[in-house]
Amino acid sequence: MTRRQFADLLAWAAAQLDAKPTQPIYAGLLIDAGDDTVTIGAASHGGGARATLPADVMEPGRIVVPGRMAAQVVGAYRSELIELATAQEQVELAAGRDLFRLSLLPAGDYPAVADQPDPDGTVDGSELAEAVRQAVSATDPKVNDLQVWRSGIQLTAGGDRLTVWATDRYRMAERTIAWTPARDQEPVGALVVGRSLVDAVLGLEGAISLSLAGKTVGIGDRVRYSTLDRLDEAGRQDPHRFIPAQFTTEAVAPAADLISTVKRACLVAGDGKPKILLGFGSDDISVRAAGDDTGAVAMDYVDGRHIDGPSLQIAFQPGPLLDALTVAGTDEVRIGLTGPTKPALVHAVGDDTDYQHLVMPVRL
């Protein structure tokens, strides 16, 4: 097998291991060599992953290696051809003149990696990856066990669309993409850990199969497949109820210019509870910030387009505002407002995306 193929799949599988495994075996990756393929398996408390690629196998076998260390070692090799051999409870990784020996973990103790069930439908891999990247910006991975939904991304398939959205209670990011159902079915969906889903979709190509109706969520292409445990939705309120039927004030702004202007204003916003004040009402969108602890003030303007509505000023925390703008993925964004204390809606302006991000303001 080539080093690049092996390194990519090892890195992909290692990224899905538990960050702090409770047992040593959960820090390992399973390498299963068959007649003409090699399968790499990863097991975690939140799911599992499996990848299979063609290989010239001289002697079939099954070993478990330290996952992250093996991925780093193979990724650092210079030669494109890599050989694996085992001897005396160690695996020898050779590529050209590079040689590493790693201690093996007990293969008999390795948890089973789930098989891929029949999919509920398929989506385009690049579209799904972008939608997940956008949705994860509205998650909070540092949550307690009573609000795990704040770290999750919701996948809901219905008709010919897959909706990908997330909320941490203070914001909501959403995108829909084309969905090809495998059969006639009622809408089906699942909530999964956002960061785990980001790792799972990394590197997937072509038509991606999704299984949403089972006890676990399955996602994969012809080479890679992952399973993700469902999250508990208890306590989550639907943020879509905060999206108004119409807006009082709307404007369009160049995304890159607005992002850079907000970042410059952040330099004086302070470290306590920084705020960015945006002013709408003309084609010039004002961006202001003041440092409560330093007395410094910043004010700048972004050349936008005022669509409709009276003048309005609204304040945001810089982080959530920048997250909403940065992941839009378009040259322009449309911002809809109903009042200085009501959530603002950031839309991506483009023919091939319906990304939207609801951002809660802060009081002045």
Q: In this predicted structure, what is the pLDDT of residue 187?
A: 93
- Of 343 and 5, more confident: 343
Pairing status of strand 224-229 against strand 216-220: antiparallel
Say yes or no to pLDDT of 51 above 90: yes
Pull the structure tokens for residue 48. Answer: 């599992």
Q: How many Å apart are CA 216 and CA 211, to the nearest integer?
A: 8
Say yes or no to pLDDT of 131 above 80: yes
DSSP-derived 3-state class of residue 121: strand
Least confident of 34-43, 59-68, 120-129, 262-271: 262-271
Instruction: Count Cβ neighbours within 10 Å for each residue of 89-124 and write b for 16 or more, e otherwise.
Output: eebebbbeeeebeeebbebeebeebbeeeebbbbbb
- Of 338 and 56, more confident: 338
The average pLDDT across 300-306 equals 96
Say yes or no to pLDDT of 178 above 70: yes
The average pLDDT across 321-336 equals 97
pLDDT mean across residues, the chain: 92
Q: How many Å apart are CA 193 and CA 196, to the nearest integer?
A: 5
Q: In this predicted structure, what is the pLDDT of residue 325?
A: 97
Q: In this predicted structure, what is the pLDDT of residue 153?
A: 98
Taking residue 183's Cβ as centre, other Cβ atoms within 10 Å add up to 8
Nearest to 210 by CA among 158, 166, 172: 158
Q: In this predicted structure, what is the pLDDT of residue 99?
A: 85
pLDDT, tens digit, 9 for 90 and up, residues 237-291 = 999 999 999 999 999 999 999 999 999 999 888 777 789 999 999 999 999 998 7
How would residue 45 be classed by pLDDT, with cut points 50, 70 and 90? Answer: confident
- 276 touches 286 (CB < 8 A): no
Say yes or no to pLDDT of 311 above 80: yes
Q: How many Å apart are CA 46 and CA 196, to the nearest integer?
A: 8
Asked if CATH classification 3.40.1030.10 holds for the domain at 121-239, the reply, yes or no, is no
Q: In this predicted structure, what is the pLDDT of residue 305?
A: 96
Q: HSE on the CB side for 114, CA within 13 Å?
A: 22
Q: How many Å apart are CA 81 and CA 4, to the nearest integer?
A: 9
192: left (phi over 0), alpha (psi -120 to 50) or beta: beta
The percentage of residues in the chain with a pLDDT greater than 90, rounded to a whole number, is 71
How would residue 143 be classed by pLDDT, with cut points 50, 70 and 90? Answer: confident
Q: In this predicted structure, what is the pLDDT of residue 112?
A: 85
DSSP-derived 3-state class of residue 220: strand
Say yes or no to pLDDT of 79 above 90: no
- Are 3-109 and 121-239 equal in CATH topology? yes
Provide the angle, in degrees to the nearest 10, between the axes of the packed helices 125-135 and 194-201: 150
Q: HSE on the CB side for 57, CA within 13 Å?
A: 16
Say yes or no to pLDDT of 91 above 80: yes
Asked if CATH classification 3.10.150.10 holds for the domain at 243-359, the reply, yes or no, is yes
CA max distance for the chain: 77
How would residue 1 be classed by pLDDT, with cut points 50, 70 and 90? Answer: low
Say yes or no to pLDDT of 123 above 90: yes
What is the DSSP-derived secondary structure letter of residue 112? P
How far does Cα 229 stand from its chain's mean position? 16
Compute φ and ψ for 23, nearest 5 degrees: -135, 145
Taking residue 186's Cβ as centre, other Cβ atoms within 10 Å add up to 7
Q: Of the CATH numbers 3.10.150.10, 2.60.120.10, 3.40.190.10, 1.10.10.60, which one belongs to the domain with range 3-109?
A: 3.10.150.10
Pairing status of strand 98-103 against strand 171-178: unpaired
Q: How many Å apart are CA 356 and CA 195, to the nearest integer?
A: 20
Say yes or no to pLDDT of 236 above 70: yes
Q: In this predicted structure, what is the pLDDT of residue 294?
A: 67
Radius of gyration of the chain (CA): 24
The average pLDDT across 100-108 equals 92
**Domain range annotation of the chain:** 3-109, 121-239, 243-359
- 25 touches 110 (CB < 8 A): yes
